[in-house]
Amino acid sequence: MQDRYGHRISYLRVSITDRCNERCGYCMPQELQEWLPRHEILSYEETLRIMRIAVALGVSKVRITGGEPLTRRGIIDFVRQIPAIRQITSIGLSTNGTLLAREIAPGETMAKALCDAGVQSLNISLDTLDPEIYSQITGRDFHAQVLAGIDAAIGAGFEQIKMNAVLMRGRNENQLLPLIEFAAARKLLLRFIELMPVSTTEVLNESNFMSVMEAKRLVESAYGSLIPDTEFRTNGPAIYYQIPGRPQRVGFIGAMTNMHFCENCNKLRLTCDGKLRPCLGSYLEFDIMQPLRAGASDEELKQFFLNVVDRKPREHDFRHNYQPNRKMVAIGG
Ligand code: SAM
Ligand code: SF4
């Protein structure tokens, strides 16, 4: 699948729930959160069918996300069915980490079960090592669980574990170096992400926004000039650098300030309520649940996908007049 701007689509982000056990202000602004009723959420079977359609059109990488995907019942059995879609070469999952250390069977953590079920790469969000600040950011007191979750993930044997930290001036700029040291000690790949106005435009303002350039300068003031590592790429738009004198890379995801951010975009998103979104930073979304539940054939669903790809914008609208119509938690990050 290729759009009119030359973006080749190989990656599907699949959100399986809009629910979450945390309340990060940038993702789920504080007003009363109403979860979608169960029947408005794609069943796992429906989700797997859509994934098969995407794969038939060239998607080879999927990432399961949410909301918090580990809060949805049956996740392990769901994930176990993904490797049976043979053309999928990369299965990832994004999580806040709070439930990874939970024992789901005697001696078996959620992390181990996910790894055994076929998840190869895990993204764990952690914006700070300070439990107090963590509670302020996430609205929950789960810092210790996340640290235990990271240990459980390391013990589980994933091919790759990444840590994602959202940059927020006044909140975590003093945490960049501690996070780098934390990641180094555990051999995890850390990425810093610019705050995006995804949920409401108010989540981002001049006083709390910190650019990746600024974060990079802060990091360089401690470690010296970072060495660009242009060869190294993961599936996303992060730019990676080597920290001088050590075998550690850090990534920077500059959705707001990197003018080339969208050039190599390879993604489509599927929301848990069955909307295909050609771009995170565009209000465009297309309801694939409706034709699916109305009995559409595989060929019709393929055509639906192709039509969505055809509407993929050249770049996101975040810098212009983006009008959020969904909270991040209900899109799937
Ligand atoms: N609950 C999981 C988690 O927290 O990793 C998965 C879903 S969450 C929506 C995915 C990622 O989106 C997280 O790393 C989170 O920090 C990021 N995110 C949420 N809102 C954001 C925003 N306004 N700007 C930048 N990143 C955001
Ligand atoms: Fe939940 Fe993740 Fe959003 Fe935080 S970022 S509210 S953990 S979905």
Backbone angles phi, psi at 117, to 5 degrees: -75, -15
| SS3 category, 16 | coil
Ligand 2 centroid to residue 69 C-alpha, Å: 10
> What stretches of the chain adopt beta strand conformation (E)?
11-15, 61-65, 90-95, 103-105, 108-109, 121-125, 160-167, 189-194, 227-228, 239-242, 249-253, 267-270, 275-277, 286-287
% of residues, the chain, pLDDT over 70: 92
Please indicate, yes or no, if residue 208 is contained in any of the structural domains.
yes
Pocket test for ligand 2, best of 24, 94, 196 (most atoms within 8 A of CB): 24
Please indicate, yes or no, if residue 278 is contained in any of the structural domains.
yes
Q: Are 218 and 176 in contact (CB under 8 A)?
A: yes
Q: What CATH number should be reported for the domain holding residue 285? A: 3.20.20.70
Name the nearest CA neighbour of 14 among 87, 76, 65.
Answer: 65
Give the distance from CA 83 to its chain's centroid: 20
Query: How far is 282 from 315, CA to CA, in rounded Å?
Result: 9
Alpha helices in 200-297 (DSSP H): 212-223, 289-293
Ligand 2 centroid to residue 302 C-alpha, Å: 31
Please give the tally of structural domains in the chain. Answer: 1
**Residue 22 CB less than 6 A away from ligand 2:** yes
Query: How far is 119 from 69, CA to CA, in rounded Å?
Result: 13
**Residue 18 CB less than 6 A away from ligand 1:** no
**Residue 68 CB less than 6 A away from ligand 2:** yes
Residue 125 forms beta bridges with which residues?
Answer: 164
Which helix (H) or strand (E) segment holds residue 286: the answer is strand 286-287
How high is the pLDDT of residue 28?
Answer: 84
User: Residue 35 carries which DSSP code?
Assistant: P
Question: Has residue 324 got a pLDDT over 80?
Answer: no
How high is the pLDDT of residue 84?
Answer: 97
Region 303-326: mean pLDDT is 75
Name the residue with tokens 């242009």: 230
How high is the pLDDT of residue 259?
Answer: 75
Please indicate, yes or no, if residue 2 is contained in any of the structural domains.
no
**Where is pLDDT greater, at 272 or 231?**
272
Strands 61-65 and 11-15 come out as parallel
Question: Has residue 325 got a pLDDT over 70?
Answer: no
Lowest mean pLDDT among 60-64, 185-189, 250-254, 257-261: 257-261
Measuring from atom 4 of ligand 2, which residue has the nearest CA?
A: 24
Please indicate, yes or no, if residue 85 is contained in any of the structural domains.
yes
Pocket test for ligand 1, best of 125, 138, 150, 202 (most atoms within 8 A of CB): 125
Query: How far is 9 from 306, CA to CA, in rounded Å?
Result: 10
**Residue 328 CB less than 6 A away from ligand 1:** yes
- Summarised one tens digit per residue, pLDDT across range 117-173 is 999 999 999 999 999 999 999 999 999 999 999 999 999 999 999 999 999 999 999
Please indicate, yes or no, if residue 176 is contained in any of the structural domains.
yes
- Summarised one tens digit per residue, pLDDT across range 239-275 is 999 999 999 999 999 888 877 767 778 889 999 999 9
**Residue 271 CB less than 6 A away from ligand 1:** no
Measuring from atom 8 of ligand 2, which residue has the nearest CA?
A: 67
How high is the pLDDT of residue 317?
Answer: 66
Please indicate, yes or no, if residue 3 is contained in any of the structural domains.
no
**CA distance to 62, 116, 158, 188, 313, per residue, from 108 (Å):** 25, 10, 15, 22, 44
Name the nearest CA neighbour of 127 among 193, 50, 76.
Answer: 193
User: Which tokens in the block code for residue 113?
Assistant: 């079960």
| SS3 category, 64 | strand
Which range of residues forms the domain containing residue 44?
11-331
How high is the pLDDT of residue 246?
Answer: 94
**Quick one: CA torsion of 98, 208, 63, 188, rounded to 10 degrees?**
-60
Backbone angles phi, psi at 270, to 5 degrees: -115, 120
Pocket test for ligand 1, best of 15, 17, 19, 27 (most atoms within 8 A of CB): 27
| Ligand that comes closest to the CA of residue 137 | 2
Name the residue with tokens 């459980």: 152
23 CA: nearest ligand 2 atom: 6
How high is the pLDDT of residue 101?
Answer: 98
Please indicate, yes or no, if residue 1 is contained in any of the structural domains.
no
Residue 32: pLDDT band (50, 70, 90) is low
Q: Are 110 and 148 in contact (CB under 8 A)?
A: no
Query: How far is 263 from 173, CA to CA, in rounded Å?
Result: 28
Residue 17 forms beta bridges with which residues?
Answer: none
**Residue 166 CB less than 6 A away from ligand 2:** no
Question: Has residue 24 got a pLDDT over 90?
Answer: yes
Please indicate, yes or no, if residue 239 is contained in any of the structural domains.
yes
What radius of gyration, in Å, describes the C-alpha atoms of the chain?
Answer: 19
| SS3 category, 253 | strand
**Residue 24 CB less than 6 A away from ligand 2:** yes
68 CA: nearest ligand 2 atom: 8
Ligand 2 centroid to residue 25 C-alpha, Å: 9
- Mean pLDDT score of the chain, rounded to an integer? 91
